[in-house]
Structure 1
Amino acid sequence: MIIKTIKISLKSIMANKSRSLLCILGISISVASIVTFISLIYSFNSSLIKHIEQGLGTQQIIVAPGKMLNAKQSILEGGLSGINSYKGINSTLNTKDVEAVLQNVSSVETGAPQYETFARVSFSGKTKATSDVILTGTTPAYTNTFNYFPIEGHFFSQEDMKHKKNVMVLGQKVKEDLFGDSPAVGNKLALLGEEFEIIGVMTSKAAIGLNYNDRVYIPVATFQRLTNIDHASLLFFKATSLEEMVIAEKAIHGIIAKAHNSSDFITIKPDELISLINQIMLMLGGLATCITGISLITGGIGIVNVMLLSVQQRIREIGLRKSVGARNIHILAQFLTESIVLSFLGNILGLLMANLCIKLINWKIPYLAIEIPLRVLEYSLVFSLLIGIIFGILPALKATRVNPIESLRHE
């Protein structure tokens, strides 16, 4: 019975090819738009979260200079509205803050300061080269804090720190700019009027807000001697476990606030950044859905028009079917099926169009790596069924009200 009804519906659709095609195109463009938008937002969201997890890790706690209104400790504590409560100020953070935390907080595994400024390094070997870099002063614990280690040579040691040695470790891009594929370790670079020996090259690493590859790392004591910068731009800590994150954050805040006699800083955890990103993407997804939903309603109205016209043209057919025993439920099922088939075909074509659009975007912008989530495919199919029923019910009900005697007189 169902298969027979579908066959009749397809035959009716094929009998009015132009009209049916325009209706299907209306639905397909709407579906393609919403699937492409949601897939783009979903993939971008996943990419951002991946960068945060890989770049910072999941157990890191960041301490940054700044003040929060209403006694909040974190810039993200109040969600999206919390961003407006943040006020940036000059940093008062320093290495002593890191040492105090490591000595007094058992839930913190390690930590390191990050002092930074812009500088230029130059190489005067066989081929001269210069590179603008982010000069970064830190401690040997920096590598363990981020699980970020040299691919060549080694990071500087406590001994290098103690004697304020002129040693440096290059970020991956700095190494490539100055040496290309040639080994960098053992060479010397000029930095702020002094000569430094390269003892290591870091692996390539990417993270939102933290440019690792354009950095040159030197011992913090050497950094302060060269630059006269006494305060760190950021402090980084690594909790002993995910379960200890909240306890560690509160302890870190308490110790540094006590040392500074004020809360002139904020703390940020990766999960708070991820939560903020999810909120933003949820809003964008909702906005995209509303905009394309209007287009989908327009396509649904197209189904109503096509089906009402179909009922009007087939009044005599409906009357004949009723006169030979067809019940209202059969007529209702036939026209609802036609509406659902139109919506389903539009949905399938829309998915194919969305897939084509996504392939084009991936070709032009390969690093986005957009893909259609399986959940979107499932929702799309269910949605096409609902659109067919909702917008097909009115024409189907009108078909059931046709009087068989009057319909036989219809020309």
Structure 2
Amino acid sequence: MQLRDGLRLSGSALLSRPLRSLLTLLGVAIGIAAMALLTAIGDGLRGYVQDNFAQFGTRNLTIRPGMTRTGGLGGVLSNVRPLTIADADALRRLAHVEAAVPIIQGNGDIQFAGLTRYTGVLGCGHQMATAWRLPLALGQFLPEPRDGRSPPYVVLGHTLRQELFGAANPLGQTVRVGGTRFRVIGVMARQGQLLGFDIDDIAYVPVDWAESLFNRDGLAKINLVFSAGSGAAQMSERVRQLLIERHGEEDFNLTTQDDMLCSLDRILAMFSVAVAALGGISLLVGAVGILTIMTTAVAERAAEIGLLRAVGATSRQVLALFLGEALLLSLLGGLAGLLLMGTLLGALQLALPGLPLAVQPGGLLLALLLAALVGVLSGIAPARRAARLQPVEALHSE
């Protein structure tokens, strides 16, 4: 039996029962589409977060007050000393530190000429624009404090400037932030979303003024940028030793950018496992369908098998014929799954244009190989049964 003849027989066998073949194919298609689609979403999220982190460079360290501990009352700490602006100043003097940015976050009313917008207010140090690589569209960023106190200046985000001033130049104008008068000294360039946070709709004020605005006696965190002359582990140890000397104990939490990316990888790994489980259920349904249809086909086509054996087909050729049918069915299901995935991706892009998606060609090829593997494994038992039929017995089954 030639390969062309085998393919023609396999195709005609599947077309002879179109509804049954279609339902079986659909099970494989849904499994492949689910796995490929969710993998594309997972890869897109990974790339999106990594690109956002890369905006700040690769040598970053974040210090937060309090330290996560196990035991006790849910890890609640007593007598935790807050991080202060003086801590940030001390960290800035460490070797290899390029910038130490104290940060306080909050929300408040921004008012100008009868217009009010309730939005985010970020109290930060004068090095923030440099450390976070945020470009300015107009003016300058917050200046360094003079005589221990920052002047009452504010820098507006792109969206905030448009909402309050439109196309007018806001530099030198006075706005009220939380009821306190600030003079506009700069406007940030348009940045868009950052990890789901709109950094264009923010007012940037000096961190010491933010302490008064939000009645805070400490910082939310300190972002530190260090030079290539030091590794993350070495810098973390220097920061730890300095803050322990200042606080008397380790009542803070250090997180490097590598730590954050590792946490992201763990989350995405769990997501991948969930994806595999969801897609595996659909593929299992498809595999059972292939096994069922091939087992039924062997019983229904026993006479055909006997005739093939009688005219000289070997048991190996019969085995290959039925395995080919299972493989063809599963590959058609895989192709249909990829087509379904493409349709769903297009619909998602139209409905959620901001959703990050990444389709890897290698992943599509792997999906087809997985579909083929499902078909072969599901078709082995029925194909072996067909190959073991004796010609005389098979012909008598007619």
TM-score by length of 1: 0.88
Counterpart check, 1:96 vs 2:86: yes
Aligned residue among 122, 126, 130 for 2:111: 122
Identity %: 25
Partner of 1:299: 286
Q: Which runs of 5+ in 2 are unaligned?
A: none
Question: Is the contact made by 1:148 and 1:203 (CA closer than 8 Å) also made in structure 2?
Answer: yes
Equivalence map 1:11-410=2 (5 Å): 11-54=12-55, 56-69=56-69, 92-103=82-93, 105-124=94-113, 128-158=114-144, 164-205=150-191, 206-208=193-195, 212-224=199-211, 229-241=216-228, 244-410=231-397
Measured at CA, do residues 240 and 260 of structure 1 come closer, stay the same or move farther in structure 2, by a change above 3 Å? same
Question: Is the contact made by 1:24 and 1:345 (CA closer than 8 Å) also made in structure 2?
Answer: yes
SS of aligned partner of 1:304 = helix
Measured at CA, do residues 331 and 227 of structure 1 come closer, stay the same or move farther in structure 2, by a change above 3 Å? closer
Q: Deviations over 1:293-349 (max 9, x none)?
A: 122111111111111121122222211221222111111111100100000001111
Measured at CA, do residues 291 and 174 of structure 1 come closer, stay the same or move farther in structure 2, by a change above 3 Å? same
Question: Is the contact made by 1:161 and 1:220 (CA closer than 8 Å) also made in structure 2?
Answer: no
SS of aligned partner of 1:158 = coil
Structure 2 distance, partners of 1:87, 1:211, is: 32
Structure 1 distance, partners of 2:54, 2:306, is: 66
Shift of 1:182: 2.9
Corresponding pairs, count: 394
Moved more, 131-140 or 11-20: 131-140
Q: Which runs of 5+ in 1 are unaligned?
A: 72-83
Measured at CA, do residues 242 and 203 of structure 1 come closer, stay the same or move farther in structure 2, by a change above 3 Å? farther
Q: Deviations over 1:27-48 (max 9, x none)?
A: 2122222222222222223323
Question: Is the contact made by 1:66 and 1:88 (CA closer than 8 Å) also made in structure 2?
Answer: no
SS of aligned partner of 1:405 = helix
Question: Is the contact made by 2:150 and 2:206 (CA closer than 8 Å) also made in structure 1?
Answer: yes
Measured at CA, do residues 133 and 302 of structure 1 come closer, stay the same or move farther in structure 2, by a change above 3 Å? closer
Measured at CA, do residues 89 and 303 of structure 1 come closer, stay the same or move farther in structure 2, by a change above 3 Å? farther
Q: What is the identity, as a one-letter code, of the residue corresponding to 2:22?
A: L
Shift of 1:371: 3.7
Structure 1 distance, partners of 2:388, 2:208, is: 89
Structure 2 distance, partners of 1:176, 1:24, is: 54
SS of aligned partner of 1:13 = helix
Moved more, 335-344 or 351-360: 351-360
SS of aligned partner of 1:68 = coil
Shift of 1:211: 5.6
Shift of 1:70: 6.5
Q: What is the identity, as a one-letter code, of the residue corresponding to 2:268?
A: M
Structure 2 distance, partners of 1:283, 1:254, is: 35
